[in-house]
Structure 1
Amino acid sequence: MSKTFLIARREFLTRVQKKTFLLTTILLPLLIFGFYALIIYFSVKTGDHIQIAIVDNAKLMTNINDKQNGDIHFNVVQNVTTSELDNLIQKKQITGYIVIPENYNIMGFDTLSLKSDKSIGILTRDKIQRKFSELLEEKRLMALNLNKKQIDSIQNANTLQFTSLQGEKDSNAKAGISYGVGYFSGFLIYIILFIYGTMVMRGVMEEKMNRIAEVIISSVKPFKLMMGKITGIGAVGLMQFIIWIVLVLILTMLLPLFFPQLAQQTNNLPMQPGAMQAAESVKNSGELQGIMSALSTINFPLLIGTFIFYFLGGYLLYASLFAAVGSAVNEDPQDAQSLLLPITMPIIFAMVIMTKAVNDPNSSIAVFGSLFPLTSPIVMMARIAHGIPNGVPLWQLLVSMALLIGGFLATTWLAAKIYRVGILMYGKKPTWKEMWKWAFLKN
């Protein structure tokens, strides 16, 4: 039996048989969903509703009270003075008020003021501004003698339909779903590289500090020892990852049963601008029917297959580098932190590129990030969610895979050279310059 396999099996069994493995594997998803459930619960029970009073001296805002929904409400008031409104704000009965003067021109663009006692956050300001602008827009259209049916057709009309050269429709719902799936997949690999790469480094450090490596090296070559540790810990991560996926799917189906207002509260949580646009696109595309139609356009077999490939390829590439750092450091953990910067920077850089790639998968920076081996495991997942060839041409996917395999072989060779010297080196503070010399030492 291969010595590499024996080492991998030892690494796998010693970690899987620990109680901490079972606790982290089962309890971590439960804790995450528990915190998420608490956030939803407090959002539902203690969420603040914004009450805006409109003093409509121009008699423009009629019949708006019957159309209020969500957490922002506009209420038209008559024969109320500003001092009375100030008292209502002090008593927390309203958040603020808007005074529309009697000579206000609905077809003009005069600026109105919203007066409030407390500072209003930037996201809430944007929502208030958007909803009030929608009310004014409807009144402007009605001033042009348009009926309700005509106004609805103007507001809900889609003036552009995006299609590919092959004639396939590229709906807003599909773009929104692709954004969400790509961002989630890339972020998941980002977390995996950090967690399991650090796990490999700590495993190597423990054996070196406990002098176990000196005994093992007497019967196995350093390269086989390193590959055995990487393979064994990688198998632990893959098993843990599969269990997490199953638990997440189960909990995702159960969570709406306990919190029926999940979808509404999720839409009210803060999101980054790109995610807000994607969510709005999905919302405006026919609700559930549009979402299900968009999901059917996602090539999930391709997505899952590429995810497994880039998960394994990215892990093997970075795990060898983390192992090299672990073999070089001594008792002081701060030495490891100083050496990790050149390894963690490409991962962070890949995350930055991914935020661009999910919105524009064919931009030059996204193409570069998906081809460069140190960033491709994260960036390519953001592009592949948009499909082939719309998001990623097939040749770019094949080239990216080939470069990732080549990058893994190159980093493994380099890390093995460092590992063979560093695992038996004590008493000297390592530097990258010193490790570079180790990589080219002759046997």
Structure 2
Amino acid sequence: MNKISLVAKREFLTRVQKKTFLLTTIGVPLLIFAFYALIIFFSVKSTDNFTIAVLDKANIFNGSIDSKKGSDVIFKFVKDDTSVLKNKLEQKEYDAYLYVPENYSITGKSTDSLLFRSAKTVGIMTREKIENRISKTLEEKRLMSMNISKSQLDSIQNQKESITFSSSSGKTENQTKVGLSYGVGFVSGFMIYIILFIYGTMVMRGVVEEKVSRIAEVIISSVKPFQLMMGKIVGIGAVGLLQFIIWGILIFAIQLLVPVLFPQLFEQMQSQPVQPGMMAAAETAKQSGALSGIMNGLSEINFTLIIGCFIFYFLGGYFMYASLFAAVGSAANEDMQDAQSLLLPIMMPIIFGIVIMMQAVNNPNGSLAVFGSLFPLTSPIVMMARVAHGIPDGVTVFQLVLSMVFLILGFFGTTWLAAKIYRTGILMYGKKVTWKELWKWAVKKN
């Protein structure tokens, strides 16, 4: 155990003391923020106004079309005829014009239709904005012609049936809490998915570098191959955990600056589609007040359970997959393509896990979600999607304990197999290894 800690300490200090670690740890969040800021800047600041001349011969709109604050589509009513508008269109005085013929009727009985002509192709989002605003204005005009006011229609549309959802235990389910659980489960599972990929690959590259440089031969003269492998996994894992914590703090701090620097961003976000799992949270929050609705939903989520499970599944998943990545790295030679060709069977369960998680956040008690949360190679990702919904609504205590036991057994099993492969592969050079040969190394007797 002492030798494992010495190897882990060496791996940790060697990487942390490099300038590249500092540059990567600090530079990546800043680079992400700069890229993010540029996207927001160009989406908010660079939008050109789209001016439309309206020639309303039938006086349907009465000189006004439903306007939205901050919209980049501008309607300007004119008295010119179509020939003049065509010339002004060619001279780029207007981007387009809308012609309403004299015989046009809002009741739909006339044969004439609205004519929209633009100087250039209209984008799909701009086209949708134009159609929505015109349709909304015409809808109000039709209601007024039938002596129905807009407030009366809104009153009818806003009358929704009050349906109380509850679980089998009789506990009432908060719609906001369900939506927030969806988001928390998705983010937690996706974070572990990223961790397994990034830091598992770091372990593999570290093993390959030591093997190619022949440093491993010197170290193995003092420690056993298993101790070297575990020390490397623990050391690189500590580096990754430290880097991940710093990234999380910096990105969270940077996110707080976005509303200050780009206040128009949230106006645009309101018009964007909402994720299906979050629609319930958004609707409930809108009705009861955004802040109070979200706070009530957050208070019902068991964050102590989620954080505890996240740490356990993060460590269990990392150590299990890191040992497999280390085994692949020990079998590789100078050409990294050798290692890449052996990675597919290891990467497939991780990808399969994120696919199951996408289903588990919406249906945590489905058969596929239950299987994925119990199977050790996918449970670190899938179980977080179920735990976010709580106990016993998202996952039962028995299933959670069974999943943890399977993950621990899976860790010991993969580490034992990886250690046997590592012991042989770390000292083998000049031979391209296949999975068939790796299996022979794993099952052969000492």
Q: TM-score, normalised by structure 2?
A: 0.85
Task: Give the letter for the 1:291 counterpart.
Answer: I
Question: Which residue is equivalent to 1:149?
Answer: 151
The answer to whether residue 402 in structure 2 is matched with residue 409 in structure 1 is no
Structure 1 or 2, whichever has the larger Rg, is 2
Question: Which residue is equivalent to 1:30?
Answer: 30
Task: Give the letter for the 1:427 counterpart.
Answer: G
Q: How many residues align?
A: 440
Cα 1:56–1:310 shift into 2, 3 Å: farther
The answer to whether residue 378 in structure 2 is matched with residue 375 in structure 1 is yes
Q: Which has the higher mean CA deviation after the structures are superposed, 69-78 or 28-37? A: 69-78
Q: Quick one: distance in 1 between partners of 2:109 and 2:183?
A: 39
Q: Quick one: distance in 2 between partners of 1:45 and 1:36?
A: 14
Cα 1:206–1:164 shift into 2, 3 Å: same
Cα 1:164–1:102 shift into 2, 3 Å: same
Q: Is the 8 A contact 1:107 1:140 kept in 2?
A: no
Deviations 1:276-303 (A, max 9, x none): 8578547744333333333333332222
Q: Quick one: distance in 2 between partners of 1:50 and 1:164?
A: 49
Question: Which residue is equivalent to 1:223?
Answer: 226
Question: Which residue is equivalent to 1:341?
Answer: 344
Q: What secondary structure does 2:75 align onto? A: strand
Question: Which residue is equivalent to 1:260?
Answer: 263
Q: Quick one: distance in 1 between partners of 2:375 and 2:116?
A: 50
Cα 1:392–1:154 shift into 2, 3 Å: farther
- The 5 A counterparts of 1:263-278 are 263-267=266-270, 274=276, 277=279
Cα 1:7–1:98 shift into 2, 3 Å: farther
Report the Cα offset of residue 55 of structure 1: 6.2
Q: Is the 8 A contact 1:88 1:94 kept in 2?
A: no
Q: Is there any run of 5+ residues in structure 2 with no aligned partner, and where?
A: none
Report the Cα offset of residue 421 of structure 1: 1.0
Q: Is the 8 A contact 2:98 2:117 kept in 1?
A: yes
Q: Is the 8 A contact 1:61 1:76 kept in 2?
A: no
Q: Which has the higher mean CA deviation after the structures are superposed, 90-99 or 361-370? A: 90-99
Deviations 1:379-402 (A, max 9, x none): 222333333333333333333222
The answer to whether residue 319 in structure 2 is matched with residue 310 in structure 1 is no
Cα 1:311–1:287 shift into 2, 3 Å: same
The answer to whether residue 178 in structure 2 is matched with residue 168 in structure 1 is no
Task: Give the letter for the 2:6 counterpart.
Answer: L
Please report the RMSD computed on the Cα atoms of aligned residues, expressed in angstroms: 3.4
The answer to whether residue 42 in structure 2 is matched with residue 46 in structure 1 is no
Q: What secondary structure does 1:362 align onto? A: coil
Question: Which residue is equivalent to 1:421?
Answer: 424
Q: What secondary structure does 1:75 align onto? A: strand
- The 5 A counterparts of 1:286-297 are 286-297=289-300
Q: TM-score, normalised by structure 1?
A: 0.85
Question: Which residue is equivalent to 1:353?
Answer: 356
Task: Give the letter for the 2:309 counterpart.
Answer: T
Identity of aligned residues (%): 61
Cα 1:254–1:273 shift into 2, 3 Å: closer
Task: Give the letter for the 2:172 counterpart.
Answer: E
Report the Cα offset of residue 21 of structure 1: 1.2
Cα 1:146–1:21 shift into 2, 3 Å: same
Cα 1:115–1:193 shift into 2, 3 Å: farther
Q: What secondary structure does 2:199 align onto? A: helix
Task: Give the letter for the 1:102 counterpart.
Answer: Y
Q: Is there any run of 5+ residues in structure 1 with no aligned partner, and where?
A: none
Q: Is the 8 A contact 2:63 2:77 kept in 1?
A: no
The answer to whether residue 75 in structure 2 is matched with residue 75 in structure 1 is yes
Q: Is the 8 A contact 1:177 1:278 kept in 2?
A: no
Report the Cα offset of residue 139 of structure 1: 5.0
Q: What secondary structure does 1:319 align onto? A: helix
Report the Cα offset of residue 228 of structure 1: 0.9
Q: Quick one: distance in 2 between partners of 1:303 and 1:111?
A: 58
Q: Which has the higher mean CA deviation after the structures are superposed, 17-26 or 359-368? A: 359-368
Report the Cα offset of residue 200 of structure 1: 0.1
Of residues 190, 195, 200, the one that matches 1:197 is 200
Q: Is the 8 A contact 2:177 2:281 kept in 1?
A: no
